[in-house]
Amino acid sequence: MLNSGINVIIEGVNMQRLLLGLAVTVRIAFISIILGSLLGILLGLIRTSKSKVITFICRVYLEVFRIIPILVWLFIVYFGVTNLLNIHLDGEIVALIIFSLWGAAEMSDIVRGALESLPKHQMESGLALGLSFWELYRYILIPQAVRRMLPGAINLSTRMVKTTSLVVMIGVIDVVKVGQQIIERSVLKTPTASFWIYGLIFVLYFIVCYPLSKWSKKLEAKWEN
Amino acid sequence: MTIEEKHQVLLQINGLHKEYDGTTVLDDINLSIHKGEVVVILGPSGCGKSTLLRCMNGLEKIQGGEIVFSGKDLTDKNVDWQNTRQQIGMVFQNYDLFPHMTVMENVLLGPVKVQKRDKAESLEQAEQLLKRVGLFERKDAYPRQLSGGQKQRIAIVRALCMNPQIMLFDEVTAALDPEMVREVLDVMLGLAKQGMTMMIVTHEMGFAKAVADRIIFIDAGKICEIATPDEFFSNPTTERAKQFLNIFQY
């Protein structure tokens, strides 16, 4: 074990640095998930509107985020837009903006799908009771839609956590970047450093994402009936 | 109910015209429904009878004619549908209880959240109504734990709890297992006896005969015949009605 190089994980402040890097990753992901979900729910509700113009605009927004790689989005805003407007934006701020907008786009589609999957009769029997538009959403449609969209929303959250690893490319020091720095510094002394450090990062991502996907499976099973 | 009230027109339909994408579904429907009257609408599938009911509470827009309910013109652009629908109870073929709410929550949603009535008073009324349909002990169950007939009885209670002036029943037993039809029809018959004004679309001929004050026979979007149940079933005047009734005889 002494020569395997596993010690590189706990050498000096390596572990603390990795955990601080993980905190950056989790912070970006968490804030983006919250902001993206709020905006996405709103957009999803708007997308069920009957206005063709509004749904078209929302649809374009969704597709633009789906088609263009997130990395390109990060570059456009971090390098391109800041250059054009002659301002400086912190990498983490750019990451938060892009991930929130992406989350909102995907979330809006999940919300729309959930709302549209509800039987039309539910809406009609609500209307027949004299519910107003907002009461209909508040008491009948949203509570039922939430159950249908949670598995998808949780799945989206784990995708967002994983995709935050791209922020390295715009200079944000996340858990992956910290790992690279540690490896570069220790590789002469410990040739197997990349295995151990990336292995640890692998485990850290797993620890963050696994409970989420486990939770989504549990909810799915619970609400199946 | 005094004789005078009994003759008061609650719902008046004049020259109602309804079409979907240029296809006429209902044509020149004229009908008045008096307070306390039970009108059963019969007709072959697709004749427009369900659509007629749905026009009564604005679930379908009409393209011509007028509907006057309790003195108010429902074709007026400024009609307050939320308020109007509270006075027009409707029960659907597929029960459509809200699956995420218990029986009691389903029943109380209208009185408490929509009508903003006192919770205790609504609860008392809901309990009484549930007892009347024999489902009080299921008040905390979720819809998925109930049989079709039970769900439909709850749906009736849910509509009744709003204290409507008229009840619309849209083929409420059509989706039920034959064994459960009776329990739902019994509830409706009880309502009729209590003087509830009702418009019923059904395929249960025996029930129609027992419950109706008048039978309205609709074919191809038009009213073909209006008669008392005795006249209609023993001596229909139109050829279409005769053909229609023949289908139900073995």
Retrieve residue A196's tokens.
């151990």
What is the structure's pLDDT at A13? 84
Distance set, CA B44 to CA B222, B226, B243 (Å): 12, 15, 10
- Which residue of chain B comes nearest to A147, CA vs CA? B100
Whether residue B123 has pLDDT greater than 90: yes
Residue B116 binned pLDDT confidence (cut-offs 50, 70, 90): very high
What is the structure's pLDDT at A150? 86
Q: Does A129 touch chain B (CB under 8 A)?
A: yes
User: Reduced to 3 DSSP states, what percent helix, strand and coil does chain B have, rounded to the nearest 5?
Assistant: 40, 25, 35
Q: Which residues contact B192 (CB under 8 A, 6 or more apart)?
A: B38, B198, B211
What is the structure's pLDDT at A30? 93
8 Å CB contact of B100 and A143: yes
| Beta carbons of A182 and A8 less than 8 angstroms apart | yes
What is the structure's pLDDT at A192? 86
Indicate the length of chain A as a whole number: 225
Whole-prediction pTM: 0.80
Whether residue A3 has pLDDT greater than 80: no
| Beta carbons of A36 and A160 less than 8 angstroms apart | yes
Q: Which residues contact A26 (CB under 8 A, 6 or more apart)?
A: A161, A208
- Which residue of chain A comes nearest to B160, CA vs CA? A129
* A62-88 residue pLDDT tens: 999 989 999 999 999 999 998 899 988
Distance CA A88, CA A171 (A): 13
How big is the A-B interface in CB pairs under 8 Å?
65
In chain A, how many domains are there?
1
DSSP state of A50: S
Distance set, CA A31 to CA A14, A61, A89, B161, B193 (Å): 26, 21, 17, 45, 62
What is the structure's pLDDT at B5? 58
Using a 10 angstrom Cβ sphere, with 0-12 exposed, 13-18 middle and 19 or more buried, the burial of residue A55 is middle
What is the structure's pLDDT at B138? 94
Q: Which domain holds residue A15?
A: 2-222
Q: What is the mean pLDDT of residues B125-136?
A: 94
Q: What is the mean pLDDT of residues B126-146?
A: 93
Whether residue A91 has pLDDT greater than 80: yes
Give the number of other Cβ atoms within 10 Å of residue A127's Cβ. Answer: 21
Nearest to A153 by CA among A201, A219, A90: A219
Question: Which of A50, A117, A125 to substitute to test the interface with B, most B CBs within 10 Å?
Answer: A125
Q: Strand B166-170 relative to strand B88-91: parallel, antiparallel, unpaired?
A: parallel
What is the structure's pLDDT at B3? 53
Distance set, CA A99 to CA A44, A93, A94, B19, B35 (Å): 17, 10, 8, 48, 61
Using an 8 Å CB-CB cutoff, list chain B residues near A121.
92, 94, 96
Percentage, residues of chain A above pLDDT 90: 53
* B53-110 residue pLDDT tens: 999 989 998 899 999 998 888 888 888 888 899 999 999 998 889 999 999 999 999 9
Output the domain CATH number for residue A17: 1.10.3720.10
Q: Does A133 touch chain B (CB under 8 A)?
A: no
Nearest to B175 by CA among B139, B203, B198: B203
Residue A4 binned pLDDT confidence (cut-offs 50, 70, 90): confident
Whether residue A98 has pLDDT greater than 70: yes
Q: How much is the mean pLDDT over chain B?
A: 90
Q: What are phi and psi of B222, to 5 degrees?
A: -125, 150
What is the structure's pLDDT at A224? 64
Distance CA B229, CA B240 (A): 16
What is the structure's pLDDT at A7? 80
8 Å CB contact of A121 and B92: yes
Distance CA A59, CA B113 (A): 34
8 Å CB contact of B85 and A143: no
* B192-234 residue pLDDT tens: 999 999 999 998 999 999 999 999 999 988 999 999 999 999 9
Using an 8 Å CB-CB cutoff, list chain A residues near B110.
129-130
Using an 8 Å CB-CB cutoff, list chain A residues near B159.
128-129
* A134-191 residue pLDDT tens: 999 999 998 898 888 888 899 899 999 999 999 989 988 889 899 999 998 888 888 8
Distance CA B227, CA B215 (A): 5
Nearest to B135 by CA among B166, B86, B95, B171: B95
Q: Which of B59, B85, B94 shows the shortest C-beta gap to A130?
A: B85
Q: Does A16 touch chain B (CB under 8 A)?
A: no
CA distance B167 to chain A (A): 11
Using a 10 angstrom Cβ sphere, with 0-12 exposed, 13-18 middle and 19 or more buried, the burial of residue A94 is buried
Residue B131 binned pLDDT confidence (cut-offs 50, 70, 90): very high
CA distance A137 to chain B (A): 13
| Beta carbons of B13 and B30 less than 8 angstroms apart | yes
Query: What is the DSSP secondary-structure string of B73-139?
Result: ETTSTT--HHHHHHHEEEE-TT----TTS-HHHHHHIIIIIIS---HHHHHHHHHHHHHHTT-GGGT
Q: Does A117 touch chain B (CB under 8 A)?
A: no
| Beta carbons of A73 and A65 less than 8 angstroms apart | yes
* B167-178 residue pLDDT tens: 999 999 988 888
Q: Residue window 94-133, chain B: list those with CB within 8 Å of chain A.
A: 94, 96-100, 109-110, 113-115
Q: How much is the mean pLDDT over chain A?
A: 89
CA distance A155 to chain B (A): 23
| ipTM, interface predicted TM-score of the complex | 0.87
Q: Can you tell me whether residue A81 is helix, strand or coil?
A: helix
